[in-house]
């Protein structure tokens, strides 16, 4: 860190570590006019009389700033070396102690993996193993590697864990805040420079996912389940530093699930989702099949399945249009799909 303080100007330090402004204010250091100087050069401008009069220990100030930056970077999870390129799952056992039906599975960023299986088969257990970065210390005995290595302990046990963001089926807010206040708090905690721009980007993305739009002035406690999930998915994609996103049954969220996945993947996230939805399962690059608490097999989505997916999407669009029309009070008739018949109802193609 001392090398950075010796070479970077105060302006460059402020751009990279916006929180150092607090350090300057707390120590009553007026750096205005010295932005193009290094912090050491700034300290050197004080005369001996000024140092004595103001009780300035320039050596200690330099050391303390270095420590302050290191601590804040660690607390905020801003270390550049923590970029996650891959997640590896090494096989454990099922509920009967039988070895799982694979050796290991590596998932790379911007990949989507679906997790399928009957209710109670162990999908949530797999999500929990990943969230906890299991090291043969969970009921399944699985091992989770990050970038091919055992993850740092701080990733596993820190209360400020930044490795995984998990979006559960039910999300309820209890804070008495508006959507804007909630997003501003998160943005400011991440030391975002242009908070207003990021907040606007998140609300726009959330409304693109939600069935019914909401505003920045909406109290978060009054958001519907779908709106809450849309807000958190947009927040996770745009603002969260977590490189891995675990989603439990996104099809029950009341949002545009296809747009949600596209948003997360475009943010270079590793996305794993437990789902019963055939469209979501086939949208994934691979799917993990869970049986009796263990991974029975891993299936690569084939070209044939992608062709099936295209047909499923077409059928889903018809259903989504019908849902939209029912909400608008239109009637649904048997026949052929038309854009608008100006009679308060839409004709829908029924596939035979």
pLDDT digits (tens, 9 = 90+) for 298-340: 999 999 999 999 999 888 888 878 877 887 888 877 654 544 4
Instruction: Tell me if 348 sits within 8 A of 319, measured CB to CB.
Output: no
Q: Residue 92 — very low, low, confident or very high, per pLDDT cuts 50/70/90? A: very high
| Domain span holding position 252 | 81-301
Same domain, 341 and 197: no
Average pLDDT over residues 96-104: 95
The pair of structure tokens assigned to 86 is 């891959």
The fraction of the chain above a pLDDT of 70, given in percent, is 86
Same domain, 120 and 145: yes
Answer yes or no: is pLDDT of 117 > 80. Answer: yes
Q: Identify the pLDDT of residue 248.
A: 80
Same domain, 108 and 253: yes
**Interatomic CA distance for residues 309 and 148, integer angstroms:** 32
Same domain, 120 and 264: yes
Q: Identify the pLDDT of residue 1.
A: 54
Instruction: Tell me if 68 sits within 8 A of 42, measured CB to CB.
Output: no
CA dihedral for 252, 258, 263, 269, sign (positive or negative): positive
Q: Identify the pLDDT of residue 157.
A: 62
Same domain, 61 and 25: yes
The fraction of the chain above a pLDDT of 90, given in percent, is 32
Our CA dihedral for 203, 164, 251, 224, rounded to 10 degrees, sits at: -40
Same domain, 244 and 261: yes
What's the number of domains the chain is made of?
3
**Interatomic CA distance for residues 32 and 273, integer angstroms:** 50
The pair of structure tokens assigned to 251 is 């099809």
Is 321 buried (19+), middle (13-18) or exposed (0-12) by CB count in 10 A? middle
Instruction: Tell me if 224 sits within 8 A of 254, measured CB to CB.
Output: yes
Same domain, 247 and 106: yes
Q: Residue 168 forms beta bridges with which residues?
A: none
Same domain, 110 and 137: yes
pTM (2 d.p.) = 0.66
Integer-rounded Cα Rg, in Å, for the chain is 26
Same domain, 126 and 203: yes
Task: Give the CATH number for residue 92.
Answer: 3.40.50.300
Same domain, 196 and 100: yes
Count CA within 13 A, CB hemisphere, residue 75. Answer: 11
**Interatomic CA distance for residues 111 and 122, integer angstroms:** 22
Question: Which H or E element spans position 294?
Answer: strand 294-300
CA dihedral for 120, 123, 127, 130, sign (positive or negative): positive
Instruction: Tell me if 92 sits within 8 A of 294, measured CB to CB.
Output: yes
Q: Residue 334 forms beta bridges with which residues?
A: 348
Same domain, 222 and 326: no
Instruction: Tell me if 41 sits within 8 A of 35, measured CB to CB.
Output: no
Asked which of 47, 76, 105 is the last residue of a domain, the reply is: 76
Same domain, 228 and 121: yes
Q: Residue 341 — very low, low, confident or very high, per pLDDT cuts 50/70/90? A: very low
Instruction: Tell me if 173 sits within 8 A of 228, measured CB to CB.
Output: yes
**Interatomic CA distance for residues 16 and 258, integer angstroms:** 35
**Interatomic CA distance for residues 162 and 240, integer angstroms:** 8
Asked which of 37, 61, 76 is the last residue of a domain, the reply is: 76
Instruction: Tell me if 237 sits within 8 A of 113, measured CB to CB.
Output: no
């Amino acid at each position: 860190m001392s090398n950075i303080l010796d070479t970077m100007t105060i302006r460059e330090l402020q751009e990279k570590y916006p929180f150092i402004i607090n350090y300057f204010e707390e120590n009553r250091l007026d750096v205005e006019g010295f932005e193009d100087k290094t912090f050491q050069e700034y300290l050197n401008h004080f005369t001996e009389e000024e140092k004595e009069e103001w009780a300035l220990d320039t050596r200690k100030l330099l050391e303390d700033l270095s420590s302050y930056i290191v601590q804040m970077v660690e607390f905020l999870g801003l270390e550049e070396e923590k970029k996650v390129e891959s997640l590896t799952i090494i096989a454990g056992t099922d509920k009967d102690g039988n070895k799982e039906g694979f050796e290991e599975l590596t998932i790379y960023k911007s990949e989507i993996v679906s997790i399928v299986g009957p209710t109670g088969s162990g999908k949530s257990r797999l999500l929990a193993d990943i969230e906890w970065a299991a090291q043969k210390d969970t009921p399944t005995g699985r091992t989770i590697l990050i970038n091919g290595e055992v993850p740092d302990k701080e990733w596993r046990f820190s209360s400020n864990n930044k490795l995984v963001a998990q979006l559960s089926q039910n999300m309820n807010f209890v804070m008495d805040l508006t959507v804007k206040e909630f997003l501003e708090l998160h943005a400011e905690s991440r030391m975002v420079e242009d908070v207003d721009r990021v907040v606007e980007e998140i609300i726009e993305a959330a409304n693109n996912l939600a069935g019914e739009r909401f505003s920045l002035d909406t109290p978060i406690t009054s958001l519907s389940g779908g709106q809450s999930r849309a807000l958190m998915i947009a927040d996770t994609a745009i603002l969260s530093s977590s490189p891995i996103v675990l989603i439990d049954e996104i099809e029950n969220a009341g949002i545009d699930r296809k747009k949600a996945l596209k948003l997360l993947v475009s943010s270079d996230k590793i996305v794993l989702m437990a789902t019963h939805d055939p469209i979501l399962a086939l949208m994934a690059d691979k799917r993990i099949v869970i049986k009796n608490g263990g991974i029975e097999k891993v299936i690569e989505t084939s070209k044939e399945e992608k062709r099936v997916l295209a047909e499923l999407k077409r059928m889903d669009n018809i259903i989504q249009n019908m849902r939209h029309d029912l909400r608008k009070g239109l009637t649904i008739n048997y026949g052929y799909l038309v854009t608008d018949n100006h009679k308060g109802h839409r004709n829908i193609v029924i596939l035979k």
